[in-house]
Amino acid sequence: MKLATIRRGDTTAAVRIDGDTAVVLDGYADVGAVLAADALERAAAIDGETLAAADLDFAPVITAPGKIVCVGLNYRAHILEMGRPLPDHPVLFAKFTDTLLGDGDAIALPPESDSVDWEGELVVVVGATVRRADRETAAAAIAGYTIANDVSMRDWQFRTREWLQGKMWEASTPLGPVLATADEIPADAALTTSVNGVEKQRGDIHDLVHDPAELVSYISTITTLRPGDIILTGTPGGVGHARDPHEYLADGDVVSISIDGIGTLRNAVAAESPR
């Protein structure tokens, strides 16, 4: 099953994507509300207003997650290209809700940074409340998966040893277009990132140092995870900062991130005027 959150004027609504059609899940403002109500199974059977999927205006699939936890250096190829050792434990940082964008929204290119990079990522969407979860419980708590672009302002990221200031820029993190349950995703699913139609990243989403169940277990040891919380699992090799010479995003570029079984998250980059 695939669920999405769409904009309808000044409001949003959760929908189920059935091929070329979207069924409105009446009473649920976003996919996070479906998960908070423990209504994932019910969502599969709801019969409501139908819309053409091609005409949808996507909001972030979870519009206001309580937690956005991100994992750095989690794909072996990316760790090697960045010249770092494999981590014994997940490398964690966080984002805030106002970083989030929907599929088709413009990524803000701030005038303060000239080193804006792409990072295609598989995202875990939590569907149950868990604390100190063992691996089995953690796996069962995963509602599904989506896609994010962990856009990074590298010059700000590497000003200090802590990465947060390069990762928390407003309107910098597209999320979506859909949540796909695990049965939608093939065993050999790959993630690809393209910029202006040129492939930059390709990686097996299962080739993680710390896999989704381990991440849910580890993070839930630190803090309670709740329905609608999201975990960005890291990016494969091919980021612009690791290229020689470096490659960064520019005004008008279009970044497309695809994961087999989920779909494609596509966003243009637009220069932000200083205020």
Looking at residue 65, its pLDDT comes to: 98
Backbone angles phi, psi at 274, to 5 degrees: -65, 145
Residues 1 and 119 in one domain: no
> Pick from 93, 77, 11, 16: which is nearest to 47 by CA?
16
> Pick from 137, 151, 152: which is nearest to 212 by CA?
137
Looking at residue 80, its pLDDT comes to: 78
Q: Which residues contact 32 (CB under 8 A, 6 or more apart)?
A: 5, 62, 63, 64, 65, 227, 228
Residue 275 has pLDDT above 70, yes or no: no
**Measured distance CA(46)–CA(262) in Å, rounded:** 21
Residue 251 has pLDDT above 90, yes or no: yes
Residues 64 and 35 in one domain: no
Which residues form the domain of 147? 59-271
Residues 169 and 151 in one domain: yes
Residues 34 and 162 in one domain: no
212 half-sphere exposure, CB direction, 13 A CA radius: 22
Q: pLDDT band for 207, please (50, 70, 90 cuts).
A: confident
40 within 8 A of 55, measured Cβ to Cβ: no
161 within 8 A of 254, measured Cβ to Cβ: no
Summarised one tens digit per residue, pLDDT across range 215-241 is 999 999 999 999 999 999 999 999 999
DSSP 45-62: T----EEEGGG--BPPSS
Residues 77 and 48 in one domain: no
Domain endpoint, select from 57, 73, 94: 57
Summarised one tens digit per residue, pLDDT across range 15-64 is 999 999 999 999 999 999 999 999 999 999 999 999 999 999 999 999 99
Residues 51 and 172 in one domain: no
Q: Which residues contact 68 (CB under 8 A, 6 or more apart)?
A: 94, 95, 96, 97, 99, 100, 173, 229, 230, 232
Out of 6-10, 75-79, 97-101, 124-128, pick the least confident: 75-79
Summarised one tens digit per residue, pLDDT across range 72-84 is 989 987 787 778 8
Residues 86 and 46 in one domain: no
- What is the rounded average pLDDT for all residues in the chain? 96
* Total domains in the fold of the chain: 2
Domain endpoint, select from 42, 57, 72: 57
Q: Give the three-state DSSP class for 142.
A: strand
Residues 105 and 193 in one domain: yes
User: Region 178-200: what's the mean pLDDT?
Assistant: 97
CATH number at residue 241: 3.90.850.10
Residues 68 and 49 in one domain: no
Residues 150 and 223 in one domain: yes
Summarised one tens digit per residue, pLDDT across range 125-160 is 999 999 999 999 999 999 999 999 999 999 999 999
Domain endpoint, select from 17, 35, 57: 57
Residues 3 and 138 in one domain: no
Residues 153 and 198 in one domain: yes
Residue 6 has pLDDT above 80, yes or no: yes
Say which residue, 221 or 275, is predicted with more confidence: 221
